[in-house]
Amino acid sequence: MTEEQKSKKPTKNAAEKKIEPEKKSTPEKKKPAEKKDEVEKKILLVSSSPHLTDTSTSRRVMYEVVIGLVPAVVMAVYLFRIQSLIVLLSCLVGCVGTEWLFNVVRKKEQTALDGSAIVTALILGLSLPPTLPYWMAIVGSVVAIAIAKMVFGGLGANIFNPAMVGRAFLMACFGLFMTTWTLPVPEMAEQQVQAEAMELQLDTEVAAVTQPTPLALAKQAIKDAHKEDQADKVTPERVEAEIVSLFWGQTSGSLGETSAFCWLIGGIFLLVRRTITVHVPLAVLGSALVFATIAWFVNPDVYPEPMVHLCSGGLMMCAFFIATDPVTCPLSKLGRVVFGIGVGALVMLIRLKGGYPEGVMYAVLLMNSMTPLLDRWTRPRTLGGSVAKR
């Protein structure tokens, strides 16, 4: 064998290298947690558009509403002092305590401090008279949370505004206490001389001076329209003289029915923060203004000026804080406009033709019952439009 043949002959090691198959790397088994993460990533990637993100939560929204209520609460405390604090604190204890107890009994996640119970307590307290006994305020708060909210499943499941349900219950059970109004403390100084004279005549201490609310006077003017005795007759001019006091807050009424200015401040804050939209407030105030203007234009000797209705009672509170409840008002913009128009129209119908001087509570509850129907009638189109059925 020549040297060339020896060199061409493959060595044993070279042959082994050619024959030896390549080793394939076996894939490592993935843990269940890693597989789950991959699945979640895939689901996120194939989800349909549009992809919208928002940092707001229900807790944040509720506490922004609480901040919006601060001006009205401060004015109530200034006007009615210790009486207002007793009513508001009673409502807070009743609402928060009831929700906490329900969650404990049902073994659910605690939501007592998510802000919704606090909002209900403040709105209910501001819609009550300052002289209401504390235990009645607690009873109304328990009914508002237990019957109108927790029985339906908690926040987001109730169909009626809890604060208005609590007030309606108190109105049905304790009508006399719910319709007794006193003068604000700053106004009491002007009545002090008369009160001292009454104490001398009656030989007893006068605790408070009662006074009808501006809406009660307006209702009395409607009833006295056909009265012949002019001495005892109440005229719209008597109510119209209090427009300035109604706006700034120097009249009798519920804790939150005294200052339209404070409600405007709170409402503007919610609008700026985009906690609420303009649809419901404008619809409520606009429809009430239209009906009040028509009544005043038809018979100014019986019905007061439209500004009296806008600034008195709970209309401002209703427009910005009650009717705008995201749970009990429609979802679509058109539905909210129709909802607000209905609330404003019913308020004015009760004020002008009903038996009660104020109609906010009944108007809100009636329109709450219409919310599912309004959602169905004003359902927005799906993205891309409707598809014709074959």
Q: What local confidence, expressed as pLDDT, does residue 193 receive?
A: 46
The contacts of residue 316 (CB under 8 Å, 6+ apart) are: 260, 263, 264, 267, 285, 310
The SS3 call for residue 330 is coil
Of 359, 341, 340, which is closest to residue 349 (Cα–Cα)?
Answer: 359
State how far the alpha carbon of 178 is from the alpha carbons of 6, 122, 131, in Å.
Answer: 119, 17, 9
Domain boundaries, the chain: 58-178, 184-211, 213-252+276-374
Output the six-digit token pair for 211. 């006074």
300/235 Cα distance (integer angstroms): 10
Q: What is the pTM of this model?
A: 0.80
DSSP secondary structure letter of residue 376: H
Question: pLDDT tens track of the chain, all 390 residues?
Answer: 555 555 555 554 544 444 455 555 555 555 565 655 555 555 544 555 455 556 678 899 999 999 999 999 999 999 998 999 999 999 999 999 999 999 999 898 898 889 999 999 999 999 999 999 999 999 999 999 999 999 998 888 899 999 999 999 999 999 999 988 887 876 655 555 455 555 555 555 545 555 667 888 888 887 777 776 666 677 778 888 888 888 887 788 889 888 899 999 999 999 999 999 999 999 999 999 999 999 999 988 889 899 999 998 899 999 999 999 999 999 999 999 999 999 999 999 999 988 888 899 999 999 999 999 999 998 877 666 555 555
Q: What local confidence, expressed as pLDDT, does residue 317 receive?
A: 95
Name the β-bridge partners of 210: 182
Q: What local confidence, expressed as pLDDT, does residue 245 receive?
A: 83
Pairs from 216-225 (Cβ < 8 Å, separation ≥ 24): 216/181, 216/357, 218/303, 218/304, 218/308, 218/309, 218/312, 218/351, 218/357, 219/351, 219/356, 219/357, 221/302, 221/303, 221/304, 222/302, 222/303, 222/352, 225/299, 225/301, 225/302
Numbers of helices and strands, H then E, in the chain: 19, 0
- Looking from the CA of 182 toward its CB, the CA atoms found within 13 Å total 22
DSSP codes, 201-242: HHTS-----B---HHHHHHHHHHGGG---SSS---HHHHHTT
Q: What local confidence, expressed as pLDDT, does residue 199 receive?
A: 53
Q: What local confidence, expressed as pLDDT, does residue 76 receive?
A: 93
